[in-house]
Structure 1
Amino acid sequence: MASGVIITDDVKNLYEAMKVVKAGDDLNSRVKVAILLIKDSKEIVVGDTYTHQDLEAKPGFTILTEQMDKMECFYALYDCSFETKDGVHKEDLVLLMWTSDGAHIKKKMLYASSKGNLKMALKGIKHDLQINDRSDWSKQAVAAKMSEKHSWVVAKIEGMDV
């Protein structure tokens, strides 16, 4: 069931900027983590963003964990850097949906029913995670999700062993 929530152009433009690295791009200013929120039950908008430079002080995984402590529900675009067991470095965009068990049921339903439209608007998302409980959120769970459709196995996320 679609929710009728629209995806703003700012979200679509941010996604396009995150997925395509162009020659000459300033890597320090590239957005690596973006929080997306449903505003007024009507539209998905860009909330906080964190650049490559921001992630030097605190990894994206940690930032997302902190956001889960602060907010009941959100989506996130996470440009995840990881290394396979073969030592190959990769980066893939992950769409994450966080709906805490403690969130109001109407809010959880709104996020769940809007996710399909968001995925359709963000063509090319390779990985999506739905996290409802903090026990679902671990480097091991992210690595397993990212490995499931591929022949490679994730060994490290943002330089941290899985």
Structure 2
Amino acid sequence: MANAASGIVVDDECKLKFMELKSKRTHRYIVYKIDDKVNKIVVEKLGGPDESYDQFTASLPEKDWRYAIYDYDFVTKDNCQKSKIFFVAWSPNVSRVRTRMLYASSKDRFKREMDVTYEIQATDATEIEIGNIKDRAY
């Protein structure tokens, strides 16, 4: 079903890859982009389970918006292994106005379909430093 505000549809592969990340842990992260030629949100890149957070942030384009999902593993103060899945709305200020409008109007629908609780909105690299993820995870 298309997003009423933007006309953008979430491709079925987006949900499939998210479920693989969530249940099978076959991916560390997923980067999504809007393909405006077909009016769909599609998978742009899959990060392997052993990829680092730096590899994830390096996969986000410097001047273009993206949505991403990141599976953050950590150990609690009680020495318990935990994982939290973050939705990252990557929105550099230097992107084109049309791109900003398209991503902004599609974000809520995409987030609902992926069913993620934790969100990070970032306009530059300092806002997606690993410390911000750590702070939100605890």
TM range (shorter): 0.7 to 0.9
Alpha-carbon offset, residue 132 of structure 1: 0.9
The TM-score, its normalising length taken from structure 2, stands at 0.86
Distance apart, 1:73 and its partner CA = 1.2
Partner residue of 2:11? 8
2:27 aligned residue: 31
- The answer to whether the 8 Å contact 1:2/1:117 transfers is no
For normalisation by structure 1, the TM-score amounts to 0.74
Q: 2:56 corresponds to which residue?
A: 64
Paired AA for residue 43 in structure 2: V
**Count of residue pairs brought into register by the alignment:** 134
Hey, what's the Cα distance between the residues in 2 that align with 1:86 and 1:43?
Answer: 43
Q: Secondary structure at the match of 1:87?
A: coil
Deviations 1:48-102 (A, max 9, x none): 111114x2xxx1x202221235552111111111222332221121111111111
Measured at CA, do residues 70 and 102 of structure 1 come closer, stay the same or move farther in structure 2, by a change above 3 Å?
closer
2:70 maps to 78
Matches within 5 A, 1:12-161: 12-21=15-24, 30-40=26-36, 42-53=39-50, 55=51, 59=52, 61-70=53-62, 72-123=64-115, 125-146=116-137, 153=138
> Match of 2:6, SS?
coil
Q: Please list every run of 5 or more consecutive structure 2 residues that lacks an aligned counterpart in the other structure.
A: none
- Cα distance in 1 for residues equivalent to 2:122 and 2:103: 12
In 1, Cα distance between the equivalents of 2:11 and 2:72? 23
Q: Compared with structure 1, are the counterparts of its residues 16 and 68 closer, same or farther at alpha carbon in structure 2 (3 Å cutoff)?
A: closer
User: CA contact under 8 A between 1:38 and 1:111: conserved in structure 2?
Assistant: yes
Ranges in structure 1 where 5+ consecutive residues have no aligned partner: 22-26, 147-152, 154-162
Question: Residues of 2 paired with 1:50 and 1:80: CA distance?
Answer: 13
Asked if 1 retains the 8 angstrom alpha-carbon contact of 2:67 and 2:89, the reply is yes
Name the SS of the counterpart of 1:106 in structure 2. Answer: helix
Aligned residues: percent identity?
A: 24
RMSD: 1.9
Amino acid at match of 1:37: K
